[in-house]
Structure 1
Amino acid sequence: MSQQVRGVVSRKKSEPTEVVDIVIPDPGPRDVVVDITACGVCHTDLAYRDGGINDEYPFLLGHEAAGRVEAIGTEVTHVGVGDFVVLNWRAVCGQCRACRRGRPWYCFDTFNASVPMTLTDGTELTPALGIGAFADKTLVHELQCTRVDPDADPAVVGLLGCGVMAGLGAAMNTGQVVRGDSVAVIGCGGVGDAAVAGARLAGATRIIAIDRDPAKLDWATDLGATHTIDASQVQDVVTAVQELTDGNGADVVIDAVGRPETYETAFYARDLAGVVVLVGVPTPEMRLELPLLDFFSRGGALKSSWYGDCLPERDFPMLVDLYQQGRLPLEKFVTERIGLTDIEEAFEAMEAGTVLRSVVEL
């Protein structure tokens, strides 16, 4: 039977969110009802609220979540009732041209729940990234659920659902950092610091964190950066990176900001055959102008990283295991634990740059 639960809903552009009753319908054949235990507050949720994604209001916000499967549809085989799962927004189809070519992290036809969640008056909700987890319960497709060790802290491992996975994957999957590499990361918020942690886990020997905020540089150092550059205190960031890499530039430079000026810095701060990874998300009006000869004059690669080019079924259990072994300090990303009514304050803290992640616990 359908059920009513609390959920955080955004009704109009840039207006405060509300905690209201929402309706979770009976799951479709391959759908799953998940009882949410914890959900991180991500920049993407704020972008939904402020109209930066689309205008399909009302939105049910939240997507970096972990919880337990409560009910399953008639054809579900991927998970069972009681399983502890981390939710993901790229449930790959296995059939599109990207999947058939062995590149499922680019899947063009990812799965979501087959029936909508609604307000109590029947108005359909648009769940953030197809999840909508600022709620006591949510409805997703079975392949949006990845089973992980049930002893793991939900507030910590749920962050793999978006930003932390994006940063870890930007280094490990997209940038393909290997032992001995030098890595520079521009922007040391949640995604950038996850890239720092990923570079450390992959064996990089020189990890350079770049930001304008000394507090964020301290976070990056705590997560594995070997050197820091305060961009507000140096004349030229590119020269500063080269000075820390024997005059060559870094093997991998990760832009976790996503602005033309940070991308240009990343482009010139890499070694001659280095790799640039763009994981920060630009806005539609942004433009980049660089001499074409400078592209021709360098080898290496320029890459974009979507969700850290991850495969949840491959990556989530492995990363949770590494966290539980003490080899990946995911717990350091949880700055504060809050309630469902504290989302607006969490957005303010995020914009002020005083938290890596606020996590709603239910």
Structure 2
Amino acid sequence: MAQQVRGVVARGKGSPVSLETIIVPDPGPGEALVRIQACGVCHTDLHYREGGINDDFPFLLGHEAAGVVESVGEGVADVAPGDFVILNWRAVCGQCRACRRGRPWYCFDTHNAEQKMTLLDGTELSPALGIGAFAEKTLVHAGQCTKVDPTVSPAVAGLLGCGVMAGIGAAINTGNVGRGDSVAVIGCGGVGDAAIVGARLAGAAKIIAVDIDDRKLETAKRMGATHTVNSKATDPVEAIRGLTGGNGADVVIEAVGRPETYRQAFYARDLAGTVVLVGVPTPEMQLELPLLDVFGRGGALKSSWYGDCLPSRDFPMLIDLHLQGRLDLGAFVTETIALDDVEKAFDRMRSGDVLRSVVVF
């Protein structure tokens, strides 16, 4: 029988979110109903609210979540009621050309739930990243549920569902940061700080944090940055080169998603170095670079979707590192809030006052 729960909905572009009654159907074949315990407030949710992703309003926001499986549909074997899971938005199909080549993190046919959650009047909702977890319960494809050690706090576990995984994976999986490398991270919000943590885990010798906000640079130092650059006061390209013997960094991670910061990343890398774009641009943005410079500098220009992660591999590993005291996921949580505080959390996000607000149910 379908259930009624509370959820945070964005009804129109730029309009404040509202707390609505949501109808959640029973899981069908391949689906799972998850009782949400915690969900981070991610900048991507704000992108949805502002129409920066698409215009499929109304959106059921929230996607950076952890909770307990309540029921599953026919044919689900990998998770069962009672399992503690982190939700992911890249449920791989196992059958597409990427999966068949042994590269499931590039899966071209990822799964979401077939059934739609709705408002009371029957209006179908678009769940953010196929999840919609600013709700007491949500319906997802069972492949979006990744079991992890249930002793971890849901408030920190859920962060792997998007931002923290995106940043750590941008460094380790996409950037292939190695021992002794120099790394620069442009943009020190949640994703950028996670990239700093990932570079530290990978053994980088020099980690340069770049931002226009000194508060964020102080946080970046606590996360593991060895040097900081305020790009409002200093040319970041020259500063990064100056800190790397005039050469530029081996890996530059762009965690802003803007053409001007991407150009900085491009010119701040060493010859044959790597640029990783993990910041999310908006549809109207355009990038111009001299093609001769693209050719002449060599190396690699990469985009990192979800940190090129494989949730079944990466989530349990990172949770284990956290429980062993080797990865402080709690450092990303600035505050815990109630479900009806999401709009206020967006305001604090814009002002740079928080690294992560986390809704705890």
TM range (shorter): over 0.9
Counterpart secondary structure, 2:297: coil
Q: Match for residue 357 of structure 1?
A: 356
Asked whether the equivalents of residues 52 and 283 of structure 2 are also in contact (C-alpha less than 8 Å), the reply is no
Per-residue CA distance 1:90-110 (angstroms, 9 max, x = gap): 000011122122221121111
Q: Match for residue 136 of structure 1?
A: 136
Displacement of 1:299 in angstroms is 2.0
Letter in 2 for 1:225: A
Q: Match for residue 236 of structure 2?
A: 237
In structure 1, runs of 5+ residues without a counterpart are: none
Asked whether the equivalents of residues 29 and 75 of structure 2 are also in contact (C-alpha less than 8 Å), the reply is yes
Q: Match for residue 69 of structure 2?
A: 69
Counterpart secondary structure, 1:297: helix
Alignment map for 1:34-113 (pairs within 5 Å): 34-113=34-113
Q: Match for residue 24 of structure 1?
A: 24
Counterpart Cα distance in 2 of 1:184 and 1:19: 40
Check if 1:311 corresponds to 2:310. Answer: yes
Counterpart Cα distance in 1 of 2:292 and 2:30: 52
Per-residue CA distance 1:2-55 (angstroms, 9 max, x = gap): 111111111122111111111111110111110000000011111111211112
Per-residue CA distance 1:271-312 (angstroms, 9 max, x = gap): 111100011111222222222221222221110101100000
Q: Match for residue 333 of structure 2?
A: 334
Check if 1:300 corresponds to 2:299. Answer: yes
Per-residue CA distance 1:248-285 (angstroms, 9 max, x = gap): 11100000011111111111111111100011111222
Letter in 2 for 1:261: E
Counterpart secondary structure, 2:113: coil
Q: Match for residue 343 of structure 1?
A: 342
Letter in 2 for 1:266: A
Counterpart Cα distance in 2 of 1:60 and 1:282: 21
Which shifted more, 80-89 or 92-101?
A: 92-101
Counterpart secondary structure, 1:156: helix
Q: Match for residue 259 of structure 2?
A: 260
Counterpart Cα distance in 1 of 2:92 and 2:243: 40
Percent of residue pairs bearing the same amino acid type = 72
Counterpart Cα distance in 2 of 1:116 and 1:289: 40
Per-residue CA distance 1:195-242 (angstroms, 9 max, x = gap): 0000000100100000110000011100000000111121x2111111
Pairwise CA RMSD: 0.9
Check if 1:149 corresponds to 2:111. Answer: no
Check if 1:6 corresponds to 2:23. Answer: no
Counterpart Cα distance in 2 of 1:285 and 1:17: 24
Per-residue CA distance 1:162-200 (angstroms, 9 max, x = gap): 111111110000000011100000000011000000000
Q: Match for residue 321 of structure 1?
A: 320
Letter in 2 for 1:108: F
Counterpart Cα distance in 2 of 1:348 and 1:124: 27
Which shifted more, 92-101 or 250-259?
A: 92-101
Alignment map for 1:144-293 (pairs within 5 Å): 144-234=144-234, 236-293=235-292
Counterpart Cα distance in 1 of 2:302 and 2:157: 27
Counterpart Cα distance in 2 of 1:111 and 1:225: 36
Counterpart Cα distance in 1 of 2:105 and 2:347: 32
Counterpart secondary structure, 2:321: helix
Counterpart Cα distance in 2 of 1:285 and 1:340: 32
Q: Match for residue 122 of structure 2?
A: 122
Counterpart Cα distance in 2 of 1:46 and 1:297: 38
Query: TM-score of the superposition, structure 2-length normalised?
Result: 0.98
Counterpart Cα distance in 1 of 2:114 and 2:291: 46
Counterpart Cα distance in 1 of 2:274 and 2:226: 19
Counterpart Cα distance in 2 of 1:297 and 1:12: 46
Which shifted more, 257-266 or 219-228?
A: 257-266
Counterpart secondary structure, 1:274: strand
Counterpart Cα distance in 2 of 1:12 and 1:200: 41
Letter in 1 for 2:205: T
